[in-house]
Every structure is written in C-alpha cells, then in structure tokens.
Structure 1
Amino acid sequence: MPLYEHVLIARQDLSNTQAEGLIEHFSTVLADNGGKVVDNEYWGVRTLAYKINKNRKGHYAFLRSDAPSDAVQEMERLARLHDDVMRVLTIKVEEHKEGPSVQMQKREERGERRSRDRDDRN
C-alpha cells in the first residue's frame, strides 16, 4: 500500500486532549477503510503564518499512514467537514523515516544547514 504523511491543523480553542482525540478519530477512519496509522505526533499549539478563520494559532498533528488512496480520500473529506479542523495536508512518500519528525527533534540533533551564500546559486 502507498505511504502517506498527513498534517492537521485544529482550532486553537480546543484543549490538548480534544486535539489528541482528533488524531485518534482520524486514525480510526483510516483503519476502518483498510489502512493503518504507523506513527502519530502531537506538535502542540503553534503560531500560524497568517490568520485562518480569524485564528492566529492552531493545534498541529502529524500522522504517518500506510493506507489505500480511498481511505486517505475519505479521511481528508471528513477532516474538511469537521468544524474543529482548519487545514489538512497529505503528502505521498516513498518511505517513512525512523524516529521523530524534524519538528520534534532538538536543534542539536538536526543536520547542519547549508550556507546561503550567493555564490552557491550559480
């Protein structure tokens, strides 16, 4: 089955347990349609780059799934209909990386960034 990564942004006025309950809800939607959630992470409340529905912050959640495309489409459809979910992003990936996502890693654990010299662009 194809591998996917999903990011959900929920409204800021939810409690942490309600936001984590959304993760469980959408995990069961995938499971009911023949898929499975390999890993999930709750990233917490983060500031948005721009206002979405008059909200400046949102609860971020990350899911790694192994599911058929029909299950992913159903999960996205239900997420868009859900009042608490503001945005959904789904990306198809070749393989799931082991360990925590980049958002959950400490700065020291991340790899070195490339320099941003103008000469490197040529």
Structure 2
Amino acid sequence: MPLYEHVMIARQDLSNTQAEGLIEHFGTVLADNGGKVVDSEYWGVKTMAYKINKNRKGHYAFLRTDAPAPAVQEMERLMRLHDDVMRVLTIKVDEHEEGPSVQMQKREERGDRRGRDR
C-alpha cells in the first residue's frame, strides 16, 4: 500500500486530550477503510505564521500512514468537514523515516544542518 504523511492543525481552544482524541478518531477512520496508522506524534500548541479563522495558535499533529488512496481521501474529506480541524497537509512518500520527526528532535540531534556561525 502507499505510504503517506499527514500534518493536521486543530483549533487552539481544544484541550490536549481532545486534540489527541482527534488523532485517534482519524486513525479509526483509516482502519475502517483498510489502512493503518504506522506512527503518530502530537506536537503540541504552536504559534502560526498568520491567523487562520481568527486563531493565532493551533494544536499540531503528525501521522504516518500506510493506506490505500480511497481511505486517505475519505479521511481527508472528514478532516475538512470537521469543525475543529483548520488545516490538513498530506504528502505521499516512498518510505517512512525511522525515529521521531524533525519537530520532535532536539537541536543537537538534527546535526545535518550547517551552523549559523557565518
């Protein structure tokens, strides 16, 4: 099955447990349609570069999935209809990276970026 990565931004006035509940909810939507969530990360509340629906901050979540295209389309459709979800980004990838995403790594662990000492 194809591999996908999803980033979701939920409204800032949700609690952490409600935001994590959204991740579980959309994971069950995938499972009902023949897919599975390989890994999920809750990134927490972050400040956005610009306002979306009068919100300056949002709950960010990241999902790595292994699902057929119709399952992903159904999950995206339900995400876009859900009142608490503000934005969704889905990317098809060749393979999932091992370990935590870049957002969850500490600066020292990233290592592959050049220094800013110029």
Q: Which residue of 1 aligns with 2:21?
A: 21
SS in 2 for 1:109: helix
Q: Gaps (5+ residues) in structure 2?
A: none
How many pairs are equivalent? 116
Taking the aligned partners of 2:100 and 2:115, their CA distance within structure 1 comes to: 25
Q: Which residue of 2 aligns with 1:111?
A: 111
Could you list the structure 1 runs, at least 4 aligned residues long, displaced by more than 3 angstroms after superposition: none
Q: Which residue of 2 aligns with 1:63?
A: 63
Q: TM-score, with normalisation over the residues of structure 1?
A: 0.93
2:87 aligned with 1:82, yes or no? no
Q: Gaps (5+ residues) in structure 1?
A: 117-122
- Cα deviation per residue 1:18-72 (whole Å; 9 max; x = unaligned)? 0000000000000000000000000000001100000000000000000000000
Taking the aligned partners of 1:88 and 1:82, their CA distance within structure 2 comes to: 11
Query: Percent same amino acid among aligned pairs?
Result: 89
Letter of the 1:95 counterpart: E
